[in-house]
Amino acid sequence: MHQLLTWVVEPGFFTSEPVRAAVVTGSAVAVVSAVAGIFTVIRGQSFAGHAFGDIAAAGGSGALLLGLSPLTGFIGLGIIGAGAMDLIGVQRVRGRDLATGIVLGAAIGLTALFLYLDTTASATTGAAQQVLFGSIFTTATTTLPVVVTCSVLVAAVIAVIWRPLLLATVSPDIAAARGVPVRLVGMAYMLALATAVGLSSLTIGAILSTALLIGPAATALRLTRRMGWALAAACLIGVAAIWAGILLAYDSYYWGNTHQGLPVSFFIVAVIFAAYLLTGLAGRRPARPHGTAVPSAGDAIRDQVAA
Amino acid sequence: MFAGFMMNTWAVATIVAPVAGVVGYFVVLRGSAFPAHAIPKGAFAGAAAAALLGISTLIGLAVFSLLGALGIGALGRRTRHDVATALALVMMLALGAAFLSRTTEYEPEIYSLLFGEILGVSATELLPVAILGAACIAAILLLYRPLTLSSVVPEIAEARGIRPYRIEIAFLVIVALATAMAIPVVGALLIFSLMIGPPAAARSLTSHPAIAMLLSTAIALATVWIAIAASYQMNWPVGFFVGTFAALSYALGRGCAAWHRTHATAPALHAATPDA
């Protein structure tokens, strides 16, 4: 029995300080990502959600160059990017993705320039790798109060615009008729998303940022169409994935003879991916086949909003 | 800048740009901006892993870009496409990170894989790139009618017996090939910029498909040429110029279309389409 326990949880897991820090940070970020992610999936803006990660990276490398704090760069450029997307974008989904793509392209170009200037200025190698594959165990240190403040801010904004945003997502015309400032609400959401993704990219890395934003929310929305339950499920799945992923990564150091282990991000993403696939097997009726990317907000959500 | 070693760069860029322009036209038409970004990014993860494991990067590129295309297509069958793309992308990046963790070396090649490198093209690469590029364009021309139909009027296409899933997979594989061949010069993160900016600009100016594709090719060529020249002169990465000029060309296209709309006396027959 004892052997089984140590097989699942390798020695030293619960007492390790980095593990504890990673679990706390990861769980907090998972919750914020799930909250932002629910609307991202419903609105069909996964591209924007992912793009903000790359835009944040551009901001980060720029901040490095200018000597500003990484957080300022990560979130600052995201906010500018959100504004630019809104300026270019149109209401239809394809137009939005195009706007996202254009802004993203410009941002990545800036990343190229900033990284080049960074390496020539300070001879740091591996920056490109770090930018893309930053790890939850070795991230730049951000003070906990700042992370908490930003998280609470994001959650508060989304809580405030919850109902109008839902209505504007499902039916912009009805929302406008009811006096909802559709454009403004959409903009507020984008700013919240940019902040959330900037925060998560900085603390847990670019890959996990997107994975935690989209994965748990998409899985939850496959299980239920009621918004409250979906939100709870998304938070639960995100946090569970973090814990399971960290545990597996910790254990993986003891696997085999090489004692190298695999990165945490790999395990967390694998758990999220597996959870999503599993819900596909046991889930509800499959989504209507679409030829191209047209989001379906779901009839149940429409019913709930109209009620 | 037209010295011997630079000629390869000019040659490859001149092959890559038309492919990006033609394939990109359909990327914009189908609203597949996210897959066009995700596939090369996933391909990069494979190439970086291959580079560090000592295998040819081209193999890593090819395998991961095809994996990405098929993954996005397969997942997208049961769910909305942007979620499928996001999940496939993170899974491939996670796999890439797992491979990369096997070694602690840093390969300078990784930077050029990401952002392009004008000096990184050798003469031996010209033929494979040309063949792949020709194959992409040939595939697009072959599938032109079903592709256009399923992009613009999916229900009618389906009624005519064109299976949406097959077209989607075929198109994603074409995108995978196009990005794989273009990564060495333009870099994984910016090939998509070339496939979005110029075609979107072209579609702002005209809605006639053939003219739009030609215009998109022309703008893509101008973009890479100016980018290479600027990169050569200023020593800044070519990727920066590609990203910036692609965005600028789109802005110019939109600007011209808007100006045309306000100043045209007769109703413009080729006005900007609503989703461009």
Residue A88 has pLDDT above 60, yes or no: yes
Lowest mean pLDDT among A184-198, A286-300, B62-76, B217-231: A286-300
Separation CA A38–CA A218 (nearest Å): 7
Contact call for residues A105 and B191 (beta carbons, < 8 A)? no
The answer as to whether A67 is a domain residue is no
In the structure, what pLDDT confidence band is assigned to residue B108 with cuts at 50, 70 and 90?
A: low
The answer as to whether B12 is a domain residue is yes
pLDDT score for A264 = 87
Return the top range by mean pLDDT from A55-59, A181-185, B218-222: B218-222
What residues make up the domain containing B121? 4-193
Q: What is the mean pLDDT of residues B67-96?
A: 91
Lowest mean pLDDT among A25-39, A63-77, A119-133, A246-260: A119-133
Tens of pLDDT along A7-32? 677 666 677 777 887 888 888 889 99
In the structure, what pLDDT confidence band is assigned to residue B162 with cuts at 50, 70 and 90?
A: confident
| Neighboring chain A residues of B187 at a CB cutoff of 8 Å | 112
Contact call for residues A261 and A246 (beta carbons, < 8 A)? no
- In angstroms, the separation between the Cα of residue A1 and the nearest Cα of chain B is 31
DSSP line for A285-297 = SPPPP-SS-----
Separation CA A27–CA A36 (nearest Å): 14
The answer as to whether B251 is a domain residue is no
The answer as to whether B182 is a domain residue is yes
Separation CA A232–CA A221 (nearest Å): 11
Contact B78 A286 (CB under 8 A): yes
Exposed / middle / buried, residue B72 (Cβ in 10 Å: 0-12, 13-18, 19+): buried
Residue B232 has pLDDT above 80, yes or no: yes
In the structure, what pLDDT confidence band is assigned to residue A137 with cuts at 50, 70 and 90?
A: very low
pLDDT score for A139 = 47
In the structure, what pLDDT confidence band is assigned to residue A123 with cuts at 50, 70 and 90?
A: low
| Torsion, Cα of B255, B256, B262, B268 (10° steps) | -130
Residue A122 has pLDDT above 70, yes or no: no
In the structure, what pLDDT confidence band is assigned to residue A130 with cuts at 50, 70 and 90?
A: low
Q: What's the whole-model pTM score?
A: 0.86
- In angstroms, the separation between the Cα of residue B62 and the nearest Cα of chain A is 20
Lowest mean pLDDT among A5-9, A211-215, A292-296, B222-226: A292-296
Separation CA A157–CA A189 (nearest Å): 8
Q: Which of residues 9-38 of B touch A (CB under 8 A)?
A: 28, 30-34, 36-38
Contact call for residues A276 and A219 (beta carbons, < 8 A)? yes
The answer as to whether A118 is a domain residue is no
Q: How many domains does one find in chain B?
A: 1
Arithmetic mean of pLDDT over chain A: 80
Residue A306, Cβ neighbours under 10 Å: how many? 10
Residue A298 has pLDDT above 80, yes or no: no
Which of B29, B90, B192 should be substituted to probe chain A, the one whose Cβ sees the most A Cβ atoms within 10 Å? Answer: B90
Arithmetic mean of pLDDT over chain B: 85
- In angstroms, the separation between the Cα of residue A159 and the nearest Cα of chain B is 23
Contact B189 A111 (CB under 8 A): yes
Separation CA A23–CA A34 (nearest Å): 16
The answer as to whether A61 is a domain residue is no
What residues make up the domain containing A302? 2-45+125-285+295-306
The answer as to whether B160 is a domain residue is yes
Separation CA A15–CA A9 (nearest Å): 12
pLDDT score for A194 = 93
The answer as to whether A290 is a domain residue is no
The answer as to whether B89 is a domain residue is yes
The answer as to whether A85 is a domain residue is no
User: Which CA distances in Å does B200 have to A88, A108, B58, B93, B273?
Assistant: 12, 18, 29, 28, 10
In the structure, what pLDDT confidence band is assigned to residue A300 with cuts at 50, 70 and 90?
A: very low
ipTM: 0.88
The answer as to whether A117 is a domain residue is no
The answer as to whether A30 is a domain residue is yes
A121 touches chain B (CB under 8 A): no
The answer as to whether B271 is a domain residue is no
Contact call for residues B88 and A272 (beta carbons, < 8 A)? no
- In angstroms, the separation between the Cα of residue A232 and the nearest Cα of chain B is 19
Contact A98 B200 (CB under 8 A): yes
The answer as to whether B238 is a domain residue is no
Separation CA A191–CA A176 (nearest Å): 21
Q: What CATH number has the domain bearing residue B151? A: 1.10.3470.10
Among the listed residues B184, B208, B186, the one whose alpha carbon sits nearest the alpha carbon of residue B197: B186
Tens of pLDDT along A226-281? 889 999 999 999 999 999 998 888 888 877 666 677 888 899 999 999 999 998 87
A102 touches chain B (CB under 8 A): yes
pLDDT score for A13 = 67
DSSP line for A123-176 = ---SHHHHHHH--SSSPPP--HHHHHHHHHHHHHHHHHTHHHHHHHHH-HHHHH
Q: How many domains does one find in chain A?
A: 1
Return the top range by mean pLDDT from A77-91, A165-179, A207-221, A282-296: A207-221
A296 touches chain B (CB under 8 A): yes
Which of A129, A237, A292, A294 should be substituted to probe chain B, the one whose Cβ sees the most B Cβ atoms within 10 Å? Answer: A292
Per-residue buried b or exposed e for A12-31, using 16+ beta carbons within 10 Å of the residue's own CB: ebeeeeebeebbebbbbbbb
Closest in B97, B154, B244 to A106, CB measured? B244
Q: What is the mean pLDDT of residues B32-51?
A: 88
- The upper half-sphere exposure of residue A51, i.e. CA atoms within 13 Å in the direction of its Cβ, equals 35
Exposed / middle / buried, residue A3 (Cβ in 10 Å: 0-12, 13-18, 19+): exposed
In the structure, what pLDDT confidence band is assigned to residue A290 with cuts at 50, 70 and 90?
A: very low
Provide the angle, in degrees to the nearest 10, between the axes of the packed helices A17-42 and A206-223: 60
Residue in chain B closest to A50 (alpha carbons) equals B86
Q: Which residue would you say has higher pLDDT here, B147 or A288?
A: B147
User: Which CA distances in Å does A147 have to A73, A129, A157?
Assistant: 14, 24, 16
Lowest mean pLDDT among A19-28, A212-221, A297-306, B246-255: A297-306
The answer as to whether B172 is a domain residue is yes
- State the Cα angle at A272 between B83 and A196, rounded to 5°: 65
Q: What is the DSSP letter of A283?
A: S
Contact call for residues A260 and A253 (beta carbons, < 8 A)? yes
Q: What is the mean pLDDT of residues A119-130?
A: 59
Lowest mean pLDDT among A108-117, A247-256, B18-27, B60-69: A247-256
